[in-house]
Chain A
Amino acid sequence: MSHLEFDVIWRTWPYVLGGLQYTVQLTVVATVGGILFGTLLAMLRLASNPVLASIAAGYVNFMRSVPLLLVIFWFYFLMPVIAQWVTGADRPPSIGAQNSAYITFVLFEAAFFCEIMRAGIQSIPRGQPQAAMALGMSYGQTMRFVILPQALRNMLPVLLTQTIILFQDVSLVSLLNVTDFVGAASKIAQRDSRIVEMYLFVAVVYFLMCTGLSRLVRWLQAHVAIPR
Chain B
Amino acid sequence: MAMISIDAVSKWYGSFQVLADCTTQIDRGEVVVVCGPSGSGKSTLIKCINALEPFQQGSITVDGTRVNDPATNLPRLRARVGMVFQHFELFPHLSITENLALAQVQVLGRSREESMDRGLKLLDRVGLREHASKFPGQLSGGQQQRVAIARALAMDPIAMLFDEPTSALDPEMINEVLDVMVELAREGMTMVVVTHEMGFARKVAHRVVFMDQGRIVEDRAKEAFFGESAQAGLSVRAREFLSKILSH
Residues of A within 8 A of B (CB): 125, 127-128, 130-138, 141, 145-146, 149-150, 153, 226-228
B137 and A226 form a contact (CB under 8 A): yes
A128, A134, A141, A227: the one within 8 Å of B135 (CB): A227
A130 to chain B minimum Cβ distance, whole angstroms, is 5
A128, A134, A137: the one within 8 Å of B106 (CB): A137
B106 and A141 form a contact (CB under 8 A): yes
A134, A141, A228: the one within 8 Å of B92 (CB): A228
Highest count of chain A CB atoms <10 Å: which of B76, B81, B92, B137: B92
Chain A binding site: helix, strand, loop or mixed by DSSP?
Answer: helix
B70 to chain A minimum Cβ distance, whole angstroms, is 15
Residues of B in contact (CB 8 Å), total: 30
CA distance A131 to B94 in the complex (A): 14
- Which residues B72-106 have CB closer than 8 A to chain A? 75-83, 85, 87, 89-93, 102-103, 106
CA distance A150 to B108 in the complex (A): 23
Question: Within 8 Å CB of A145, what residues of B?
Answer: 91, 102, 106
A136, A146, A226, A227: the one within 8 Å of B107 (CB): A136
Given A132-B91, A135-B107, 15 other A-B residues pairs in contact with their CB atoms under 8 A? A125-B87, A127-B85, A127-B87, A128-B89, A128-B91, A133-B75, A134-B85, A135-B78, A136-B76, A136-B78, A136-B107, A138-B75, A227-B92, A227-B135, A227-B137
CA distance A228 to B139 in the complex (A): 9
B87 and A135 form a contact (CB under 8 A): no
Question: Within 8 Å CB of B79, what residues of A?
Answer: 135-136
B138 and A133 form a contact (CB under 8 A): no
Instruction: Report, nearest first, the 10 A-B pairs whose CB atoms are least far apart.
Output: A136-B79, A131-B89, A135-B103, A228-B137, A134-B83, A227-B135, A136-B107, A127-B89, A136-B78, A227-B137
B181 to chain A minimum Cβ distance, whole angstroms, is 17
Q: Does B146 contact A (CB under 8 A)?
A: no
- Which residues B174-215 have CB closer than 8 A to chain A? none
Q: A141-B107, A226-B93, A227-B135 are in contact. Are A133 and B78 (CB under 8 A)?
A: yes
